């Protein structure tokens, strides 16, 4: 069966309605319905967005049907990979929650990233982050950060949210996201250990843009 014909089965596997899928890929429900029924000739980019949405929740498309991966792993790549990762955080935490990030450097955050973070904060998502000692350019409330010594810092992002752990790749062109509740819990414990090793910051942020 072709990809379009398998979309209803994929939705059923993860309990999504057409409206749920539409909201995750930035399309209308009518467009999703048309694609599923094979009407017209959908853009390749639309099909790629749909496939990526299912890939993020561990749905595999096979020649004969669909299945869930035991430990879903997916990759986000491209120039806007970080904002795409933040989109996945928002989708994973629709009712708000806490995100843990190691090795942040807010000086590298684009205006688009800052805008995403503002929207996430308004939606009830909070953060705890580690940054390099001496870097006072902190875009979030200072209480959300702990400094780690410069000799141990590398701007290689590790992010924990929900049952997911994201790792940026070495050349900063994307990230790998693993969905595994046990791994996420272990990484939270590791982060909490680091967090409790270092004192609360008593500084003023010099960031020009704040979330």
Same domain, 89 and 17: no
Number of domains observed in the structure of the chain: 2
CA-closest candidate to residue 130, choices 191, 55, 51: 191
Question: Quick check: is 208 in a domain?
Answer: no
pTM of the model: 0.71
pLDDT at 155: 86
pLDDT at 184: 95
Same domain, 152 and 186: yes
CA distance 128 to 145: 6
pLDDT at 1: 60
Range of the domain at 9: 3-68
CATH number of domain containing 34: 1.10.260.40
CATH number of domain containing 95: 3.30.870.10
Same domain, 100 and 182: yes
Same domain, 173 and 126: yes
Local confidence pLDDT in tens for the 211 residues of the chain: 688 989 999 999 888 999 999 998 989 999 999 999 888 788 888 998 899 888 888 888 888 888 887 777 888 888 889 998 998 999 899 899 999 999 999 999 999 999 999 999 999 999 999 999 999 999 999 999 999 999 999 889 999 999 999 999 867 788 999 988 999 999 999 999 999 999 999 999 999 889 9
| Residue 189 CB neighbours (<10 A) | 9
Structure tokens at 152: 């141990």
Who's near 82: CB < 8 A, 6+ residues apart?
A: 113, 175
């Amino acid at each position: 069966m072709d990809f379009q014909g398998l979309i209803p089965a994929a939705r059923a596997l993860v309990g999504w309605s057409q409206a749920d899928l539409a909201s995750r890929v930035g399309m209308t429900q009518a467009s999703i319905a048309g694609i599923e029924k094979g009407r017209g000739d959908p853009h390749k980019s639309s099909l790629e967005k749909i496939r990526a949405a299912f890939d993020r929740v561990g749905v595999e498309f096979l020649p004969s049907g669909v299945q869930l991966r035991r430990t879903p792993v997916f990759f986000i790549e491209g120039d806007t990979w970080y904002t795409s990762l933040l989109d996945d955080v928002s989708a994973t935490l629709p009712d708000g929650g806490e995100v843990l990030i190691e090795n942040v450097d807010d000086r590298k955050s684009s205006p688009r990233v800052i805008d995403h973070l503002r929207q996430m904060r308004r939606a009830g998502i909070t953060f705890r982050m580690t940054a390099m000692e001496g870097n006072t350019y902190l875009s979030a409330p200072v209480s959300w950060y702990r400094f780690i010594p410069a000799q141990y810092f590398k701007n290689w992002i590790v992010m924990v949210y929900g049952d997911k752990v994201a790792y940026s790749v070495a050349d900063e062109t994307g990230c790998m996201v693993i969905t595994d509740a046990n791994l996420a819990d272990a990484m939270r414990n590791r982060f909490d250990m680091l967090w409790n090793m270092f004192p609360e910051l008593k500084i003023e942020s010099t960031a020009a843009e704040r979330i």
